[in-house]
Amino acid sequence: MKKLVLLAFALFLAVFVQAQKVKEVVFTTEPEIECENCVKRIKNNIRFEKGVKAINPDLKTKLVTIQYDSEKTNPENLIKAFAKINYKAIVVEPKDKDKKDSEGKKDKK
């Protein structure tokens, strides 16, 4: 019974430690994401960057959200990866993201 509890604790600890390493960054790009081909190009190329866990390019907001392992990469390396496919990536501050989201909602009305 003690071994089972220790094993469960070790698994929990491993998942907890791994979760702390994963960070998220949001980019806007130049040129902006305009079509599904842009989305595919970004997903198919940036996914090979070391440490990338998930990529979510959003056509509506024109933003790219990337989850990454902070021990393997950082926003600067991701910006370089975008440059390899001829995109200039700019980190969006949270308040800028909220502003873009609200602008997008205004356009729909």
Query: What average pLDDT does the segment 64-93 reach?
Result: 95
- Render pLDDT for 16-28 as a digit per residue (tens, 0 to 9): 555 568 999 999 9
- Provide the pLDDT for residue 70: 92
Cα(98)–Cα(39) distance, integer angstroms: 21
Cα(103)–Cα(10) distance, integer angstroms: 46
CATH code of the domain made up of 21-108: 3.30.70.100
In this predicted structure, which of 31-35, 61-65, 93-97 has the lowest mean pLDDT?
93-97
Query: What average pLDDT does the segment 30-53 reach?
Result: 94
Task: Give how far Cα 87 sits from Cα of 18, 76, 90, 106, Å.
Answer: 30, 14, 10, 27
- Provide the pLDDT for residue 17: 54
Total-model pTM: 0.69
Tokens of 15: 């998942």
